[in-house]
Amino acid sequence: MPAAALLIVFVAAKAMAIAGHHVAFSWWVPIAYLWEDAAVVLGFAIVAAAAPKLATPVYAAATVYTAINVPVARLLSTPMTWAMWRAARGPLADSIRVYVTPASLTMIAGVCAIAAIALGRAGRGTPPRRRCLFYAALLLFAVLGPSAVSRVDTIGLERNALLTIATTALPRADATAGARDSWRTVGFDRRRDDDLAAFRGAASGRNVIFVSLESTGAQYLGLFGARPDPTPNLSRLSRSGIVFDNAYAVYPESIKGLLSTLCSTYPALDVDVELYAGAPCRSIAAVLRERGFRTALFHSGRFAYLGMESVVRNRGFDVLDDAGDLGAARESSFGVDEPSTVAHILRWIDGLPRDQRFFVAYLPIAGHHPYDTPDGGPFPEADDRGRYRNALHYGDAALATLVEGLAARGLADRTLWIVIGDHGEAFGQHEGNFGHTFQLYDENVHVPLVVAAPGWTRAMRSARTVSLVDVAPTLLDLLGIEAPREYLGRSALDAEPHLAFFLADYSRPLIGLRDGPMKFIGDLESGRDRLYDLDRDPGEIRNLLAALPDRSAWYRSALGDWAAAQAKALRRVRIAP
């Protein structure tokens, strides 16, 4: 019976993926982990009965694809999703190569071997009564599965590779809802932080350099207590500025996240980035160019990757240069070395008239997996975390070169710096959470936000909750320029508390918010929501959902309206030519 053979393949693959992960003890566990496999086997049985000649090739294709996904699921707690397949292009070749190991190849070969053995034994006759019991059990698992997953935290490991690629290609957020504006209101937190109103217009007349550090989570920096400090130059720059302790990325991936910083608008769940090309946006660059600034964006990576051009083209930049334009001393699959990019930026500034104001956006790639640096660094490289900290240190040295280059040109006291992390990076702080795109824990979305202007102010810290969607209005507020009305963010200088929203859709569709000390994460697929008090539980361990049901329900409702509103706005946009 080929269907039984396919189930054996799925169970073997699932066992390999789960091995080493924590599994809760409950009678729901077998159903939770195997219900998607059961549903796919039922579908395969129907295909095999309707078209017997297709059974073997479909079985073989399903087996190979499932086998390839075993090492992926072991590492990332999910098989390949549609978004992950889109991302797995040439620029990630160096990252992908790291995981082509003997252990991974052995797992893939093992699943294929089990498939061959199981299929060879499947030709033996099976009594009709046993067939009926088999299919009845599959149907029971498939029906009870969603309920089981809501009771058992599988961290995504229940997913069948074939079903995952099919379902994640479809929209998972309701774009017809979202009529209410509850998400625009203040949450439960009413505390007011220190008064920053005095800084409104304080940077008027200055040039602006905006730096979006790649994969730079707050918790790894000396600014937030990490010792030793991998970014001492950023810490030094912050001594003449404001450090926002509770800043959050809108999306834990660079390109859609860049939309939020440049345009003060939100990306949306399951909306391809190509649609953003036609989205209304008066970017920071466009507003400043109207005010007489020369504007340029320099990226050590490549604009063609993952549709980044849809975010940066026609956004008010006079110059857009990426790895192909920079001329580099060192190249990788993802881009070029940071010293080459910084040298290119300084040459561009040297070509401007002496009194010409400018806005430079610098997007480095140091910090991106596989965390390669030309000459290692001060941290031991026994694991990814050590290599990552060396990559941050390498990028920080390039930042220092840029700062010193401005000072050598007499521009230090005429420049405003905005330095952010585009998103964080995870190293298993929560089970199955690695990289940056899959979860909304603080290691994924809590980022640095530093506003600095040498000779402007002493070092300050602000505990207010802010979002990277607030960067554009904050920058304009500092320059004394009114922000466009269509901006969805608010100036971080505004004392009134407000919510920071974030989302992820590379694996499960997740939506979340930060409201003062409280942080809510909603899972639109499994319904397993989480609520944390970060003042008392910074590690996000104790789920307070049951203890605060009314607050949790309000957060879930506001987030649902927010996610639906963004999806509705973007899906009605036509792709720009």
Q: What is the CATH number of the domain that holds 326?
A: 3.40.720.10
In a domain, 523, yes or no: no
pLDDT at 125: 63
Q: Among 320, 303, 538, which Cα is nearest to 429's?
A: 538
Q: What is the mean pLDDT of residues 478-507?
A: 93
- Residue 363 falls within a domain, yes or no? yes
Six token digits for residue 488:
């969805």
- Same domain as 454, residue 387: yes
**What's the helix, strand, coil split of the chain in %, to 5?**
45, 15, 40
* In a shared domain, residues 367 and 271: yes
317 close to 295: Cβ distance less than 8 angstroms: yes
Quick check: bond before 228 cis, omega within 30?
A: yes
Please check whether residues 127 and 237 belong to one and the same domain. Answer: no
Which one, of 481, 480, 479, 501, lies nearest residue 489 by Cα? 501
Q: 139 and 214 share a domain? A: no
**Does residue 200 surpass a pLDDT of 70?**
yes
Determine the residue type at 43. Answer: G
Does the residue 278 lie in any domain? yes
Task: Look at the chain and report how many structural domains it folds into.
Answer: 2
222 and 156 together in one domain: no
pLDDT computed for residue 411 by the predictor = 96
Q: Residue 577 has what pLDDT? A: 44
Domain assignment present for residue 474? The answer is yes
Q: pLDDT category, 541, cuts 50, 70, 90?
A: very high
pLDDT range class, residue 366, cuts 50, 70, 90: very high
For residue 242, what is the enclosing H or E element? Answer: strand 241-248
Residues 162 and 213 in one domain: no
Secondary structure (3-state) at 12: helix
Q: Are residues 106 and 237 in the same domain?
A: no
* 135/213 same-domain check: no
Which distant-in-sequence residues (6+ apart) come within 8 Å of 477 by Cβ? 199, 200, 201, 483, 491, 493
Q: Give the tens place of pLDDT for each residue, 297-332.
A: 999 999 988 789 999 999 999 999 999 888 777 777
> Confidence band (pLDDT; 50, 70, 90) for 122?
low
Between CA 51 and CA 42 the distance in angstroms is 14
Pair 1, 131: CB distance under 8 Å: yes
| Secondary element (H or E) of residue 320 | strand 319-321
How far apart, in whole angstroms, are the C-alpha atoms of residue 302 and residue 255? 11
Instruction: Tell whether 136 and 6 lie within a shared domain.
Output: yes
Residue 552 is encoded by which pair of tokens?
């949790």
Q: Which run of H or E residues covers position 426?
A: strand 426-427
Please state, as a whole number, how many other Cβ atoms lie within 10 Å of the Cβ of residue 420. Answer: 22
CA torsion angle 426 151 566 439 (round to 10): 0
Residue 161, token pair as written in the block: 């590779």
Q: Give the per-residue SS3 of 361-415.
A: EEECCCCCCCCCCCCCCCCCCCCHHHHHHHHHHHHHHHHHHHHHHHHHCCCHHHE
Token duo for residue 543: 């789920």
User: What pLDDT, on a 0 to 100 scale, did the predictor assign at position 575?
Assistant: 47
C-alpha separations of 507 from 116, 300, 476 in Å:
30, 27, 35
Within a domain: 66: yes
Q: Which domain holds residue 108?
A: 2-167
Determine contact, residues 64/6, Cβ cutoff 8 Å: no
pLDDT in tens, 169-178: 877 655 455 4
194 found inside a domain: no
Q: Are residues 142 and 213 in the same domain?
A: no
Can you give the pLDDT at residue 20?
87
Say yes or no: 159 and 249 in one domain: no
pLDDT tens digits for range 407-428: 999 999 999 999 999 999 999 9
Q: Please tell me the distance from the alpha carbon of residue 209 to that of residue 415, in angstroms, as a whole number.
A: 7
Bridge partners, 320 (sequence order):
297
Mean pLDDT of 443-460: 91
